[in-house]
Every structure is written in structure tokens, then in C-alpha cells.
Amino acid sequence: MPRGVAIPEVRQHLFSAVERVIGRDGPGRLSGRAVTVEAGVATGLLYAHFSDLDDFLAAYAVDRAFLVSSGASALSGRAGEGSVTRNLCDAVLATPLETVRPWARLLVARPDLAGGVHAVLGAGTAGFDAIEAAVAAYLADERGLGRVAATADPAALALALVGLLHHVVLSADAGPDAPDASDRLRGAVTALVDGSTATARH
């Protein structure tokens, strides 16, 4: 990017760049220079907005955790409407996996960042924790309406669903010949949940 050209939403521009670096090189190759080169900006731009690389990564982790949490909140008030499986898939995939994948990989490589996320957004209410809590509450509501089997365990199903998401996000090959991760996740969620909804219909 030419010098002197204003960049709208600088933070998001840099956050998108760090996702591309993680996706291509992995979180172990992160540096301020790698991010700014990927973003096409001067190295000093990052440090004009963040005190250091750790501060930048902490802000990125919080931003993406908030996005994931917001997607999970879409389940609130959906009980009794549409398909249980579709509602779950729509909520889990509300944040594109292309965004969730590098964020999750970074948190695995830098577990210290999770503490910062919880400090800002609240423990148990951010990222995958938010999905688990929202799914458990939603399935409990659907169970109360008879659309999920009375014998179903909403908390266990929610934990299993988040485990599926975590596995798909961290194991999926993002290359051009890789199977679509969203399709894999939809199929797995359908298999996981349909047994409970089918039992409830009988």
C-alpha cells in the first residue's frame, strides 16, 4: 500500500492480515513484520496502534472471540422455530470458519491469550465457551417443547458439538482440494443431533 494513503478500519485490516499469515505459515511464524508485510503497510503502523505484538494479538483474540460469541447468541429465542439441526448449524457457522480457524490455532499456540479474552468478555461467555453455553440453553428449551428427546442431555450434546467444531477447525486442510469444512461440520452436527430429535418425534 502506498505511503500516505489512509487505511479505513486499520485494526481490521491488520487483523485480516494476521489471519492470512497464520493460515499460510502457522502461528509459530508470527511477527510484527510478517503481519505488516502481509497487510502491505509500514511496520510502524502496527506499533502506532498497539504497544507491541503481544498487545496486537491480544486485541485480535478478543475481537474474534466477540464475533464467535455474537454468532452463538443467534440461538436465543429460536426454540420452536424451524429445524433444530439447521438452527444449530446456522449459529455455529455464523462466523465463517476462515475466520474461526486462524483464531483457534492462535489460542492453541498461545494459551495465555485466553486469559485476556476472559478478562475483557467474561469467563465462560466468550468464543467456544459462548457456543457451548448457547447450545446447551437452546437444546434445553427445545427439550421442554418436546422437539428434543426427554432423555437427551443438552450439556453433553453442547460439549460434543463444540468438540466437533474444534476438531474440524483445527484439522481441516484449507487447500483448494480439501473437503469443505462447513459441509463436514453440518454433516457431523446432523448425525449428532438427529438421533435426539428423531426419538422425540416417536
Span of 118-132, 157-171, 178-192 with lowest mean pLDDT: 178-192
Q: Which of 45-59, 67-81, 102-116 has the lowest mean pLDDT?
A: 67-81
| Overall average pLDDT of the 97-101 stretch | 89
CATH architecture of 53-201: Orthogonal Bundle (1.10)
Q: Cell 428423531 maps to which residue?
A: 198
Neighbours of 184 (CB within 10 A): 17
Q: Which residue has the higher pLDDT, 15 or 195?
A: 15
Q: Can you give the pTM of this predicted structure? A: 0.83
Which residue in the block uniquely carries the three cell numbers 466468550? Answer: 126
Split at pLDDT 50, 70, 90, the class of 179 is low
pLDDT at 2: 38
Q: Quick one: average pLDDT of 14-23? A: 95
Question: Which residue, chain included where needed, has cell 436465543?
Answer: 76
Residue 7 has pLDDT above 80, yes or no: no
Distance (Å, rounded) from C-alpha 125 to C-alpha 133?
8
pLDDT for the residue 175: 54
Q: In the chain, where are the structural domains located?
A: 1-49, 53-201
4 vs 103, higher pLDDT: 103
Cα–Cα distances in Å, from 57 out to 52, 108, 118, 139?
Answer: 9, 13, 14, 34
**Residue 80, pLDDT above cutoff 60:** yes
- CATH code of 1-49, in short, is 1.10.10.60
